[in-house]
């Protein structure tokens, strides 16, 4: 009998939810509904069960209409507490559990705490199901400890202590009782003193301190009589009677049991409780009405669903037909894709074959270019060499137009071969830029001077305009840079008559040691039509030949474009027919004095001291042998000529030479084979390959054969002598890749 102790948990915090003032038409505001719910709680506390029931019923009606889970839970909690006070414990449990459902939806710890506490009390003290009840009380204690409300903690722990005492587990309940004894005077209520003294009496009786037990029980009865707390007083009568019965004071035990029965009878027979039960019946009727309404709504919904079922069936059949049609379409698509995939597989196989053929064709092209260049370079070496010999030996022929034409034609043919090889190298990514120190002013002057004969032929003047801000020495690949300028300036001179070609160089920005220089090649020639400006960078393409026949391979500008790509640059053109053309590009060169000095110090110099060397020439081509011999003897070197690799080996067995000039492509025994045999004999004489093959094509085989360097024919004589001197003075070091 612990009904009135639930009243403390029914009070609600007014400040938590009073800020919401939303109203629905025909329904009071939330603030007003909360006021009704609080009024119902107060009436319950005053034991005015009839009015408390009626007010809770009205608050529940409005809360359900407003769909406010917190207010619904609060109303159900108050209704459950009323039923608990009327000893309708099953109904109380029913409404408490309904309230707990809505409290969980509201996620409000306060109302969940109250309902858990009330359920715990009913299960423990009325239904005597402590196994179910104590977990509810422990859950309530968790909420109290979370909110740090000591008053509620004292209250809940007294209930837990009583629950354990009720099942004779005094040792488990003792810690809770100790806590309540310690804090009850500060945080408890006067009405709680009845139960607190009763619990202390129960514990003292358990430990057989009967005198203290009597004092506590009598104190509880005294306070209950003063405060007119009928329910807690009746409980104290009952527990004291049980205690007296245990100590075999049967007369006194019977006396207090009679008092308990009389008090309970008075409470149950009061008019308030009877009227309250009638109001409770109305609340139950409301619940039944709500259930009936729900069932009616469900039936109506089922009827509507049945009414729509025919439409649904028809729609289902339509959807099924659409799905079947889609499946058929998917199947057709599958067959189509299967056929397409098969076609693609066959096409891929054909593409693979085509790719292999293209690779093979590319290799054949490279091989063809290499072979053609070799076959052309060999006779050209003789033509250029003999022409130079004639000009040197017969000074009177220096101005001969026929001999000059022969020399020009030979050099033109050599330039054509070099262009073809150059574009082939670039396309195969076999060019790597080098870092060399050069004076840009000297480099441009040298290029302009070497092309001046073209300018004279067309009566052109060449101007150079250099920015003074450009450093004296730059670091970069001067050979590739020279190729770019030579192609652009020679083109400008060829397509200009009686005009001017200007070379501009301007520093536009610097970033650290990088100097970005903008170059412009401007002419006053025939110009290029706008439609043709995109074509001029294509290989073997020439424009404007309908009017005048300009010599050239059509490779100059494509080479320029690809070389600039290696520099990370691009070229632009600005041209109008009859007004001339301007080609513009920018290259970033380094300028670092320390690095420049290092490069200059590491440069190879001509170590020739005028010493006479003995040279062995090995070549099967009589004309080439004659040209090479003349070049060697002009330097006053001693020279021995043999026409095969075998003869060279015999000569080296019987005589010593300072250097061997070895042709590669010879019958019976080529230069590689001869060099291997020479090295196997322990002969360390430097061997220089004189060949018409491109250097990159034979360098690996030359290294493995023991050769020291390679010179490609035709060559300038100073290159040959520089190489000879370097090898002799460096003790025949191996070929430097």
pLDDT at residue number 661: 93
pLDDT at residue number 706: 92
Mark whether 140 and 105 lie in a shared domain. yes
The answer to whether residue 95 sits within a structural domain is yes
- Strand 687-691 versus strand 659-663 pairing type: parallel
Query: Which has more pLDDT, 507 or 546?
Result: 507
CATH number at 702 reads: 3.40.50.2300
Question: Tell me: the pLDDT tens digits for 381-404?
Answer: 667 767 776 766 666 666 666 666
pLDDT at residue number 450: 73
Q: Is the peptide bond between 719 and the residue preceding it cis, with omega within 30 degrees of 0? A: no
Residue at which a domain ends, from 557, 582, 602: 602
Counts for the chain of helices (H) and strands (E), in that order: 25, 12
Question: Tell me: the pLDDT tens digits for 631-646?
Answer: 888 888 889 999 999 9
CATH number at 146 reads: 1.25.40.10
Number of Cβ within a 10 Å radius of residue 4: 21
Question: Tell me: the pLDDT tens digits for 322-381?
Answer: 988 888 998 888 888 888 888 888 888 888 888 888 777 766 666 666 566 656 666 766
Question: Tell me: the pLDDT tens digits for 217-275?
Answer: 898 888 888 877 777 888 888 888 888 888 888 888 888 888 888 887 877 665 455 44
Length of the chain, in residues = 737
The answer to whether residue 409 sits within a structural domain is no
Question: Which residues span the domain enclosing 195?
Answer: 190-269
Q: Return the closest-CA partner of residue 279 out of 7, 8, 43.
A: 43
The answer to whether residue 292 sits within a structural domain is no
Residues near 724 by Cβ (< 8 Å), separated by ≥ 6?
Answer: 613, 615, 658, 659, 686, 688
Given a cut of 90, whether residue 698 has pLDDT beyond it is no
Given a cut of 70, whether residue 471 has pLDDT beyond it is yes
At residue 32, the 3 state secondary structure works out as helix
Mark whether 452 and 510 lie in a shared domain. yes
Question: What is the Cα–Cα distance from 569 to 587, expressed in whole angstroms?
Answer: 6
Mark whether 656 and 561 lie in a shared domain. no
The answer to whether residue 120 sits within a structural domain is yes
Query: Which has more pLDDT, 589 or 303?
Result: 589
Residue with tokens 């020291």: 708
CA terminus-to-terminus distance, the chain: 109
For residues 687-697, give the mean pLDDT.
83
Count of domains in the chain?
A: 4
Question: What is the Cα–Cα distance from 242 to 240, expressed in whole angstroms?
Answer: 5
Question: What is the Cα–Cα distance from 356 to 347, expressed in whole angstroms?
Answer: 14
Residues near 71 by Cβ (< 8 Å), separated by ≥ 6?
Answer: 17, 30, 33, 34, 37, 59, 62, 63
For residues 302-317, give the mean pLDDT.
76
Read out DSSP for 401-436?
HHHHHHHHHHHHHHHHHHHHHHHHHHHTT------E
The mean pLDDT of the chain is 79
pLDDT at residue number 1: 42
Mark whether 155 and 194 lie in a shared domain. no
Question: Tell me: the pLDDT tens digits for 514-543?
Answer: 999 999 999 999 988 887 777 787 755 555
**Are 556 and 491 a contacting pair, CB within 8 Å?**
yes
For residues 661-686, give the mean pLDDT.
91
Percentage of residues in the chain with pLDDT exceeding 90?
17
For residues 288-303, give the mean pLDDT.
53
pLDDT at residue number 182: 84
Mark whether 68 and 33 lie in a shared domain. yes
Mark whether 224 and 127 lie in a shared domain. no
Mark whether 618 and 597 lie in a shared domain. no
Question: What is the Cα–Cα distance from 33 to 24, expressed in whole angstroms?
Answer: 12
Which of the residue ranges 48-52, 99-103, 412-416 would you say has the lowest mean pLDDT? 412-416
Mark whether 463 and 597 lie in a shared domain. yes
CA quadruple 234, 237, 240, 246: dihedral sign: negative
The answer to whether residue 689 sits within a structural domain is yes
CATH number at 544 reads: 3.30.565.10
pLDDT band at residue 482 under the 50/70/90 scheme: confident
Structure tokens given for 439: 């004076």
Mark whether 240 and 95 lie in a shared domain. no
Percentage of residues in the chain with pLDDT exceeding 70?
76
The answer to whether residue 709 sits within a structural domain is yes
Residue at which a domain ends, from 569, 602, 635: 602
Mark whether 631 and 596 lie in a shared domain. no
Query: Which has more pLDDT, 554 or 134?
Result: 134
pLDDT at residue number 190: 67
The answer to whether residue 336 sits within a structural domain is no
Strand partners, 581: 575
Mark whether 647 and 550 lie in a shared domain. no
Per DSSP (E only), the strands in 430-551 are 436-439, 461-466, 473-476, 500-511, 514-523
Question: What is the Cα–Cα distance from 503 to 500, expressed in whole angstroms?
Answer: 10
Burial of 101 (0-12, 13-18, 19+ CB in 10 A): middle
pLDDT at residue number 22: 40
The answer to whether residue 306 sits within a structural domain is no
pLDDT at residue number 635: 82
pLDDT band at residue 659 under the 50/70/90 scheme: very high
pLDDT at residue number 107: 78
Residue at which a domain ends, from 119, 146, 162: 162
Mark whether 158 and 195 lie in a shared domain. no
């Amino acid at each position: 009998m612990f009904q009135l102790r639930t009243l403390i948990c029914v009070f609600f915090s007014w400040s938590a939810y009073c800020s919401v003032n939303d109203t629905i038409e025909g329904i009071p505001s939330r603030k007003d509904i909360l006021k009704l719910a609080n009024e119902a709680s107060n009436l319950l506390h005053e034991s005015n069960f009839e009015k408390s029931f009626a007010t809770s019923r009205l608050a529940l009606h409005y809360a359900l209409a407003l769909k406010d889970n917190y207010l619904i839970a609060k109303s159900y909690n108050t209704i459950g507490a009323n039923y608990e006070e009327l000893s309708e414990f099953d109904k109380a449990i029913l409404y408490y559990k309904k309230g707990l459902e809505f409290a969980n939806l509201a996620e409000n710890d306060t109302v969940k705490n109250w309902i858990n506490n009330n359920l715990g009390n009913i299960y423990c003290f009325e239904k005597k199901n402590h196994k179910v009840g104590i977990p509810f009380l422990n859950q309530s204690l968790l909420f109290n400890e979370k909110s740090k409300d000591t008053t509620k903690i004292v209250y809940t722990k007294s209930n837990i202590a009583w629950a354990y005492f009720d099942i004779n587990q005094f040792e488990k309940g003792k810690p809770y009782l100790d806590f309540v004894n310690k804090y009850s005077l500060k945080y408890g209520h006067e009405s709680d003193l009845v139960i607190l003294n009763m619990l202390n009496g129960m514990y003292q009786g358990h430990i057989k301190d009967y005198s203290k037990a009597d004092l506590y029980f009598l104190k509880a009865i005294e306070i209950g009589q003063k405060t007119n707390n009928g329910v807690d007083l009746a409980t104290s009568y009952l527990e004291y009677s049980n205690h007296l019965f245990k100590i075999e004071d049967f007369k006194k035990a019977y006396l207090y049991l009679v008092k308990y029965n009389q008090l309970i009878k008075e409470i149950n027979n009061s008019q308030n409780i009877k009227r309250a039960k009638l109001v409770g019946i109305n609340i139950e009727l409301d619940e039944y009405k709500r259930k009936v309404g729900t069932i009616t709504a469900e039936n109506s919904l089922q009827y509507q669903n049945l009414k729509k079922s025919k439409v649904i069936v028809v729609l289902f059949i339509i959807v099924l037909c659409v799905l079947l049609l889609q499946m058929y379409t998917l199947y057709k698509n599958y067959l189509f894709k299967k056929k397409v995939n098969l076609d693609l597989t066959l096409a891929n196989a054909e593409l693979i074959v085509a790719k292999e053929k293209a690779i093979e064709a590319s290799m054949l092209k490279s091989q063809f270019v290499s072979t053609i260049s070799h076959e052309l370079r060999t006779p050209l070496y003789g033509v250029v060499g003999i022409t130079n010999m004639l000009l040197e030996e017969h000074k009177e022929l220096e101005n001969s137009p026929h001999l000059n034409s022969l020399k020009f034609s030979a050099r033109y043919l050599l330039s054509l071969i070099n262009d073809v090889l150059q574009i082939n190298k670039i396309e195969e990514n076999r060019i790597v830029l080098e870092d060399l120190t050069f004076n840009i002013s000297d480099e441009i002057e040298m290029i302009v001077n070497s092309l001046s004969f073209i300018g004279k032929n067309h009566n052109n003047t060449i101007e150079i305009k250099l920015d003074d801000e450009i450093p004296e020495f730059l670091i970069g690949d001067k050979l590739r840079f020279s190729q770019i300028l030579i192609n652009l300036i020679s083109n400008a001179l060829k397509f200009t008559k009686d005009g001017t070609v200007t070379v501009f160089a301007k520093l536009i920005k610097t970033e650290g040691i990088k100097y970005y220089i903008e170059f412009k090649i401007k002419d006053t020639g025939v110009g290029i039509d706008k439609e043709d400006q995109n074509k001029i960078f294509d290989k073997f393409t020439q424009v404007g030949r309908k009017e005048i026949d300009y010599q050239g391979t059509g490779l100059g500008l494509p080479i320029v474009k690809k070389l600039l790509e290696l520099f990370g640059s691009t070229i632009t053109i600005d041209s109008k027919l009859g007004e001339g053309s301007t080609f513009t590009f920018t290259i970033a060169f380094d300028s670092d004095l320390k690095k420049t000095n290092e490069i200059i110090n590491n440069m190879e110099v001509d170590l020739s001291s005028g010493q006479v060397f003995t040279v062995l020439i090995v070549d099967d081509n009589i004309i080439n042998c004659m040209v090479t011999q003349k070049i060697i003897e002009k330097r006053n070197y001693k020279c021995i000529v043999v026409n095969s690799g075998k003869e060279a080996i015999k000569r080296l067995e019987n005589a010593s030479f300072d250097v061997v000039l070895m042709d590669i492509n010879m019958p019976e025994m080529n230069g590689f084979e001869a060099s291997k045999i020479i090295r196997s004999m322990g002969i360390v004489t430097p061997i220089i390959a004189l060949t018409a093959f491109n250097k990159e094509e034979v360098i690996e085989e030359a290294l493995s054969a023991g050769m020291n360097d390679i010179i490609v024919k035709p060559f300038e004589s100073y290159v040959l002598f520089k190489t000879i001197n370097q090898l002799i003075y460096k003790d025949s070091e191996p070929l430097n890749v």
